[in-house]
Structures are given as C-alpha cells and as structure tokens.
Amino acid sequence: MSRFLDVTHAVAWRTIHNFVSNPAFFFPSVIFPLFFFTAFAGGLSSVGDVPGFDFPAGYTAFQFVFVLMQASAFGGVFTGFGIASDFEKGFARRLLLGAPNRLGILAGYALAALARAAMVSTLLFAVALATGMQVIGGGVDLFGLVALAALVNLTATFFAAGVAFRTRTIQAGPVMQMPMFIVLFLAPVYVPLDLVSGWVGAVAQLNPFTALLEGGRDLISGQDFPALAAYGIAVGLALAFSTWAVRGLRRAEAAG
C-alpha cells in the first residue's frame, strides 16, 4: 500500500507542477472555460427570455453548470494529452520500469486531473459570482454539484488515459478529444431538454451526459434532484472507464 501511495504522490505532484508552471498548459485550461462562459452566458443571455424557459436561477447559472462540466471533462482529456506526451518523451516508459505498483501511476494522473479541475472550477465559480450569477441551492446542493463535476472529470480522465496508454503518442489527441466534444454538445446546452427539438432532442434524451447536466442545474437552482439516476450514471461511467484505463495500462506494460 505504501508503494502505491508513493507512486501516486510522485506522479500527481509532477503532473500538477508541470501544469501550474507551464503557461502552455495552464492558460488554455483557464481561458477556454472563461471564454465559453462569457460567450454562452453573456452573448446568449436573451435565450433566457424564450417562451417556456423557466429556469429559476437565471440563464447565467444555467450556462455555468454546462461550462463547469465541460471544463471538468476537458481537464481529464488534457491529462490524457499529458500521459501521451510523457510516453513520447520517454518518461512514462521509465516510470513503468521503475514503479513498484503501476496502478499508482494511473491513480497519480487521476489525482492530478482532479486537482487541475478544482483550480479551474474555483476560478470559474469566482468569475460567475462576480458577474452576478444567482445561486438558489444550499451548501449541500453545491457540494453535490462539485461531486458531479469531479465524477465527470474522472470519467474523462480514465477515457483519455486508456487511449493514451494504448497509443502512446500525442497524435491520438483527436481520439481523446472528439468523442468528449460530441457527447458534451449533443446534450441540452443552450435550453432545457423540454425545449430541444428534432434529432438533437432525440439524441439528447439518450445521452448519459444529459442526466448529469440536468441534475447539476437542479442542484444550483435548488430544485428536486434525481440523485439516484444522476449519481448512478456518473459513478457507473467512472467505473467503466477506469476498467478501460487499467487495461490500457496493462497494454503499455506489455509493450515495454
């Protein structure tokens, strides 16, 4: 157990340090969520006036939840980019050879992804409050929202890590990024699910991310929250993709 924790700590510390100290990693992770929040919550604020849009906390809070989930997801994807980059530089292979417990490598990357998402989310939340976002939900609701975002981050991290461990090249970046992008934007991004029509509405009904997004919006607005459905889907996805990531790690071990 101590070896597992040692490897986890070493990988997490190195990954977090690289993220904070490298402007090429840090600034895009911060600027993109803020850009999306400004574009969606500010530029599209008139959407909140359409008939049938009755979200209690207002359009800023409505879009904040999506941007929070998006930032959490892409924080996990960017962690996958970092894993692939570590393989190209030879660091990950040396780590596989030297680590006494290789599951600690995956755990370290996952812990770093959570820390990265926490930093970006804190800044995003501060900006949203400063621009007048209304929060109706209480402290427990906000904790539940943070927990949902963390599970989204872990799911994306495990998915991207599984791809990175299998391909071991940054050229696989689009394979990590595009599925996440498609899943995110085939959810009710701009209006509630009831107002989404056409084939997008049909797909959104089946999209598991919709339940997480709608659940997060219920939490921030203090509405009834389908906890069993939302957390069941979130935990199920995280567990499923953790298996995918572990199997990818085993392939990387076998490849040497």
Q: What are the pLDDT digits (tens) for 41-52?
A: 776 666 666 777
pLDDT of res. 73: 95
pTM metric for this prediction: 0.93
pLDDT of res. 59: 86
- Where does residue 130 rank: exposed (0-12), middle (13-18), buried (19+ CB within 10 A)? exposed
pLDDT of res. 217: 94
171 half-sphere exposure, CB direction, 13 A CA radius: 4
User: What single-letter amino acid sits at 76?
Assistant: G
pLDDT of res. 4: 85
Task: Give residue-wise pLDDT tens across range 66-82.
Answer: 999 999 999 999 999 99
pLDDT of res. 33: 86
Query: Which residues contact residue 198 at a Cβ distance below 8 angstroms, ignoring those fewer than 6 apart?
Result: none
pLDDT of res. 55: 84
pLDDT of res. 6: 81
16, 112 in Cβ contact below 8 A?
Answer: yes
In the chain, which residues have pLDDT < 50?
Answer: none
Long-range pairs for 145-149 at CB < 8 Å and ≥24 separation?
A: 145/65, 145/68, 145/216, 145/219, 145/220, 146/121, 147/231, 148/69, 148/212, 148/215, 148/216, 148/219, 148/230, 148/231, 148/234, 149/68, 149/69, 149/72, 149/117, 149/121, 149/216
